Amino acid sequence: MSRHAFVTGAGSGIGRVIALKLAEAGYAVTLAGRRAEPLQAAATEIAASGGMSSVLDGLDVTDEAVVQAGVSRAVAEAGPIAVLVNCAGEAPSAPFEKTGLDLWNRVLGINLTGTFLTTQAALPSIKQAGNGRIVNIASTAGMTGYPYVSAYCASKHGVIGLTRALALELAKTDVTVNAVCPGFTDTPLLDGAIDVITGKTGRTADEARASLARSNPQGRLVTPEEVAHAVIWLVSPAAGSITGQAIAVAGGEVMAG
């Protein structure tokens, strides 16, 4: 029986590419997210390549009961979860003084509390699977600061802190916990940042995209495939001694000391 990987935010962007790469690597992948249509499209692509997957739509990672039920269903269908990738996230932009409590709570709820709830629900299964792997998709925003995304920065700093704490709690087990921290990545999520830049500066979308690419010393945007390859390495047997790390995939923009 193939080992089971559970990926949140699997319908688009980085989460989708991670799910496809895990299926390519031989995992039976649970594609978890809120909307059925993009999840089903990913499942169709996986099936066309000879891989195995199942769709878990309606997964609101901020709702404890929904998360518990979703994880239980996935385990019943595909066996213990060997790999958990927490990728569900939001990154709205607003000046700090215009960041309302609703926006703050929504971003922390999805990005941080969602990671907490999904990990807590899946952890007994991960321990049972053996050589378990938890990978949290954070951001370079969790390692440094960016203007106009205070809630996002706070949530991703929290994800990295959670990663480190849980890695130490599980250090004597065979479960590792790491965070992958992409810089500006060419995904639909980036389009929101581009819209804000164009709205505030009058630049074209291409000019805004180029300005974000310049923050990367390599002078380009990161690709979702590059982030996915980092995840594939972390879940491999070769990375068994790597735990509690926040690994930047950002062309040298952020360097951990």
Active site residues: 152
Q: Distance between CA atoms of 1 and 79, rounded to whole angstroms?
A: 9
Range 191-216 burial, b when 16+ CB lie within 10 A, else e = eebbebbbeeeeeeeeebbeebbebb
What values do phi and psi take at 179, rounded to 5?
-120, 140
SS3 (DSSP) at 180: strand
Q: Count Cα atoms within 13 angstroms, Cβ side, for 159.
A: 38
**Which of 16, 40, 85 lies closest to 225 in space, CA to CA?**
16
What's the rounded Cα separation, in Å, for the pair 249 and 254?
9
Sign, CA dihedral 63-105-102-89, equals: negative
Cβ-based neighbours of 74, under 8 Å, separated by 6 or more? 4, 6, 30, 32, 54, 56, 81
Q: What is the DSSP letter of 206?
A: H
